[in-house]
Amino acid sequence: MTRFIITLFTLTLFVSCQKEKKGYFITADTNGFEDGTMVYVNAMSQSNRPFVIDSVTINDGKFELALPTPETNDFNYLTFQNTGGNVLYIAENNPIRMEIFKDSLRSSVVKGGEDNQVFFEYLAKLKAFANEKVATNNEIHIATKLKEFDKVKQLRLTINDINQKELDYRKELAEKYPNSLVSVMALTDLIRLNAIKANEAQQLYTSISAPLKNTRLGKQLDRLVTNAITLSKQKKIDVGDKAEDFSAPTPTGNELSLTEAMGKVTIIDFWASWCKPCRMENPNVVNVYNKYHDKGLNIIGVSLDKKKESWIKAIQDDNLQWNHVSNLQFWQEPIAKAYGVRSIPATFIVNEEGKVIAKNLRGPALEEKIAELLGADMM
């Protein structure tokens, strides 16, 4: 009987110890920190407020932390006394090993389970894409100065190729790891970058596991997908769609259609005389039109004005020498409604086949796209 009690006690103690060991450990070597420096483990609340969940002191250039099992998948991050920046990682129920550099926290190395492995591979891949684009843009700058315009054209195609590869990589990641927080991150990035259509985002979201959908970031993604779907129902024309033909009165009272106004490349420019940002952008649009009209660029301005006199005066004052139409119905302008325009300025770039290939480009980005499409230089 006594032996049974002792055995039962030993078993209970063993189970208790096993329960105490639940959680994960962080073991770190540090470089550049003084001994005695405090390290803080930070988490995010459901309301996106940071809070400290634990702390430890660096001794002999090292520290160890035993942390409880994460309730949900989320990012945590380490901060350091008297040092700016942080070291980001995914809180997962696996040992995590770190090498931390005070002078370059972003260069710190984090090794853990699958979640952290996929996350840091994701960051490394995005950095590689960014470096490729920087290097190619530098080549474009040099080639432009040397007036090597065929090379410039080819390099712009290279940039497009890199962008497409980055987009495909994010999508692939979201599909490949439905149980990883990184899939939530990748899909969130795609939506925020307007790099994915709403219905495709919704389809990818359905493949994400239910526990992930209930996390803080999963709930944020749910709201983003819902908003994207709502907006897509309001939008009638998007990149990749066929531009809807329309017809409306010109300043002289004649009817003009989009089909009649089209060139090799056409900008549909939604604006109004009362719109200050539109008027500020007009000189840039004039410059682009003057440089590329002879090469095949046409513009048709669609005004959301109410008063014909104000509309015509703004055309004259801003020297807008292209086609213009308006039904003078303010925000009830039927063409704007058909294209889902809810703010101005808004632009749609249409190719010769009538397909929308870009939208809402302004400043240098507008000229760069037009030059690319017409195979022209920007000098």
Q: Where are the domains of the chain?
A: 18-111, 116-234, 247-374
**d(C-alpha 26, C-alpha 263), whole Å:** 62
218-223-229-233 Cα dihedral, nearest 10 degrees: 180
- CATH class as words, domain 18-111: mainly beta
Strand partners, 57: 38
**Residue 1 in this model has a pLDDT that exceeds 60:** no
Q: What confidence tier does 7 reach under pLDDT thresholds 50, 70, 90?
A: very low
pLDDT given at position 379: 53
For 54, residues 6+ apart whose C-beta sits below 8 A from its C-beta are: 40, 41, 65, 67
Q: Is 77 buried (19+), middle (13-18) or exposed (0-12) by CB count in 10 A?
A: middle
Structure tokens at 75: 């990012």
Stretch 225-231: mean pLDDT, rounded?
86
pTM metric for this prediction: 0.61
Per-residue buried b or exposed e for 217-255, using 16+ beta carbons within 10 Å of the residue's own CB:
bbeebeebbeebeeebeeeebbeeeebeebebeeeeeee
**Interval 161-212: pLDDT, tens:** 898 899 899 999 988 998 889 999 999 999 888 788 888 899 999 989 998 9
Question: Which tokens go with 308?
Answer: 């014909």
Into which CATH architecture does domain 247-374 fall?
A: 3-Layer(aba) Sandwich (3.40)
Contacts of 3 (CB under 8 A, 6+ apart): none
Residue 17 belongs to what H/E stretch? Answer: helix 2-20
Residue 312 is given by DSSP the state H
Helix 198-206 to helix 149-176 angle (10° resolution) is 30
